[in-house]
Amino acid sequence: MGVLLWTNCVFLLACCSGLGFGSPNRCDEVRKVFQLKQIGPNQLLPLSPRPGSDLQVCMSKNLTCCTKKMEEKYQVAARRDIQNLLQTSSSSLKFLISRNVAAFQETFEALIWQAENHTNVVLQASYRSMADQAVGPVRELFTDISLFLLGSELSVDDLVQRFFDALFPLVYNHLINPGLSDISPSYAECVRSSRRDVRPFAAAPGLLADQIARCGVSGKLLIQALHLGIEVINTTDHLQLSRECRRALLKMHYCPHCQGLTQSKPCMGYCLNVMRGCLASMAEIDSHWREFVHSLEGLSARMQGPQDLEQVLLGVHALLHDAVGHAQKNGPRLSAQVHKLCGAPSRRPAQSVSIQHSSRDSIPLKAALSGSGDSLAVRRSLRLYRTFYGGLADQLCVSELASGDGQACWNGTDIVKSYTLRVVGNGIKAQSANPEVKVKVADPVINQIIDKLKHINQLLQGKSIPKLGSLDQIETGSGDAGRYSGDCDDEDGCGGSGGDEVKRKVPRVSKLSPDVTSDQKRRHHNHHYPPAEDSAREGRSRSFGLTGAIWVKEFNLMSYVIIIAMTVIQRKEGGGGEADAADEDEQTN
């Protein structure tokens, strides 16, 4: 009996430890915290506890240290606290994705330069007589490839055919008929026009166009998917909280302060109910986000082999070398065909003749860097976020908000030993039994994000073919672009809120070329955190994570991009009524 009495005394002491009821001014501690957190001006606080009959959320039978104006300020602060937590929780994921987008573009530019340089080196070593004049067409080819892969609406077939059209007069003049001086511009134009009829380079133009088109569509789709990943994070970071949620957050975070309990934390079950109710729509993203990450991994796997961007670009020099060699080998036949179409050119004898033959084997190319160890570490770090949205509410309670096991905690009304009400699961359907937050319907803006994820997942999985503008629709969506989420009641003032704050800062990637699919057809024709079911699961946490195993085992361009980005990163890091109205005013300011 004595032990039980002692335990109850300790518990009561814990309940009153933050209240300061024994001090001359029982609201001193509340005033300090109010000032420290910069919630509002100190003039709003009463000098001593007062009746709280005018309060709308933090109501109590006891005296209170809160006024109606303080309650309004507390609600604004509670919303801001949660949004800061949401942004902090997603910051590393957002940084990882955005850095990969930037690193992809930076590395891609270097890769284009390297591929162009290799091509010029091979031509200089193997076909020196025409190499200098071929620099211009080679530069134009890689400029066009770069523009296409970064989003320009160029026809792959046209840009490749245009390059080989410009190349044929040089091959004809310097390699097939090297004994005469340069042909006249008019005759060179005739030779250029005859190229598609005499086919000097065999299947090389079609093969190169096919390779660029395949890897180009995959590369564009990957970049667009990463942009959508950032858009999803931006949307959920700036989630507009419903009125019911804002009142519940006020009750959980700051109503204890009104009773002087400034050091108290909510019970785990209580916190889970509030956060799962507030983030119910966000939890609906979970399955689609998991599929999104898995689909990115699948796309990366398909980018191996013929769709490997690095392999295609760094293979242009070899394909071009073989194409020119094929034309040189069939010189007599090609010369006769050109004479038949264009006639015999009238030219002056050249002073010197230099017949070039292949010496490609003497041109060593820089080997690709190997980074299997770094790539593995990157994949492991990405996996930490695979179940990010499914376990977000639980993670916030476990790591930031709720009290620990066995500690006295706030249940929304008083300090208690444990929370006794039912703890609901995650998602919209589970909230029908939520005792703390009433969830009406799914958030319409979250539904838009889910629709975009569904669409991009189908594209990533190859279940539908990207068409003109389809990825721009995924990126921009429809409806009110200025609003991100939340109730759409007039009282909430959701329309247009947050528009300037949440605009994406990542560079826009243009739509896919409409010619890719049709070109290919023509050439083919011619030749978590699991939800807790009851309060027994309070305090349990699991590591939640989001896979981004986007990059596969073998080293390719995307592995190279992420390894660069992560290496740099690792080095650098060694209420109802007036309360609701005040909160809405704060959101619009």
Specify the pLDDT at position 465.
57
Specify the pLDDT at position 548.
33
Helix (H) or strand (E) holding 136: helix 128-149
Helix (H) or strand (E) holding 415: strand 415-416
What is the total count of domains within the chain?
1
Specify the pLDDT at position 60.
82
Q: Tell me which range, 43-52, 86-95, 106-115, 498-507, is most confidently predicted by mean pLDDT.
A: 86-95
Q: Which residue has the higher pLDDT, 491 or 26?
A: 26
Q: Give the end-to-end CA distance of the chain in Å, rounded to a whole number.
A: 58
Determine, yes or no, domain membership for 478. no
Checking if the pLDDT of 383 tops 50, the result is yes
Q: What is the DSSP letter of 465?
A: -
Determine, yes or no, domain membership for 191. yes
Checking if the pLDDT of 90 tops 70, the result is yes
Task: Name the pLDDT band for 510 (thresholds 50, 70, 90).
Answer: very low
Q: Which has the closest alpha carbon to 212: 515, 560, 467, 558?
A: 515
Specify the pLDDT at position 25.
55
Structural domain of residue 141, as residue ranges?
A: 106-214+307-349+357-362
Q: Which has the closest alpha carbon to 377: 569, 575, 215?
A: 569
Token output for 461: 């999985």
Determine, yes or no, domain membership for 338. yes
Helix (H) or strand (E) holding 410: strand 409-410
Specify the pLDDT at position 98.
86
Token output for 131: 């190499």
Query: What is the average per-residue pLDDT within 328-337?
Result: 92
Q: Tell me which range, 262-266, 404-408, 485-489, is most confidently predicted by mean pLDDT.
A: 262-266
**What is the spatial distance between Cα 425 and Cα 440, in angstroms, rounded to a whole number?**
16
Longest dimension (CA), the chain: 121
Q: Tell me which range, 248-252, 438-442, 530-534, is most confidently predicted by mean pLDDT.
A: 248-252
> At 348, phi and psi to the nearest 5?
-85, 145
Query: What is the average per-residue pLDDT within 321-336?
Result: 92
Determine, yes or no, domain membership for 83. no
Q: Kindly give, in sequence order, each residue whose CB lies less than 8 Å from that of residue 80, ignoring residues fewer than 6 positions away.
A: 586
Global model pTM greater than 0.85: no
Determine, yes or no, domain membership for 251. no
Checking if the pLDDT of 37 tops 70, the result is yes
Give residue-wise pLDDT tens across range 431-447.
999 999 999 888 899 99
Give residue-wise pLDDT tens across range 216-245.
888 888 888 989 999 999 999 998 899 999
Give residue-wise pLDDT tens across range 134-164.
999 999 999 999 888 887 888 999 999 999 9
Lowest-confidence segment of 98-107, 191-200, 362-371, 408-417 by average pLDDT: 362-371
Please, how many CA atoms are within 13 Å of residue 379, restricted to the half-sphere of its CB?
20
pLDDT above 90 covers a percentage of the chain that reads 39
Checking if the pLDDT of 509 tops 80, the result is no
Specify the pLDDT at position 369.
38
Helix (H) or strand (E) holding 409: strand 409-410
Token output for 182: 């340069």
Checking if the pLDDT of 399 tops 80, the result is yes
**What is the spatial distance between Cα 213 and Cα 500, in angstroms, rounded to a whole number?**
37
Task: Name the pLDDT band for 75 (thresholds 50, 70, 90).
Answer: very high
Token output for 366: 């820089």
Q: Are 112 and 313 in contact (CB under 8 A)?
A: yes
Label residue 7 exposed, middle or buried (CB < 10 Å: 0-12, 13-18, 19+). Answer: exposed
Please, how many CA atoms are within 13 Å of residue 389, restricted to the half-sphere of its CB?
25
Specify the pLDDT at position 334.
92
Q: Are 467 and 153 in contact (CB under 8 A)?
A: no
Specify the pLDDT at position 162.
95
Determine, yes or no, domain membership for 224. no
Q: Are 82 and 249 in contact (CB under 8 A)?
A: yes
Specify the pLDDT at position 288.
95
**What is the spatial distance between Cα 209 and Cα 207, in angstroms, rounded to a whole number?**
5
Give residue-wise pLDDT tens across range 108-129.
888 899 999 999 999 999 999 8
Integer CA distances (angstroms), 478 to 448, 472, 585, in order: 8, 11, 26
Specify the pLDDT at position 134.
93
Lowest-confidence segment of 85-94, 254-263, 290-299, 442-451 by average pLDDT: 290-299
Integer CA distances (angstroms), 441 to 155, 242, 432, 525, 541, in order: 46, 11, 10, 51, 28
Specify the pLDDT at position 152.
81
Q: Are 247 and 58 in contact (CB under 8 A)?
A: no
Q: Which has the closest alpha carbon to 111: 303, 304, 366, 314?
A: 314
Token output for 170: 């040089």
Determine, yes or no, domain membership for 332. yes
Specify the pLDDT at position 180.
60
Specify the pLDDT at position 214.
84
Checking if the pLDDT of 584 tops 80, the result is no
Helix (H) or strand (E) holding 416: strand 415-416
Lowest-confidence segment of 227-241, 461-475, 505-519, 567-581 by average pLDDT: 505-519
- The average confidence (pLDDT) of the chain is 74
Determine, yes or no, domain membership for 537. no
Task: Name the pLDDT band for 586 (thresholds 50, 70, 90).
Answer: low
Q: Are 388 and 546 in contact (CB under 8 A)?
A: yes
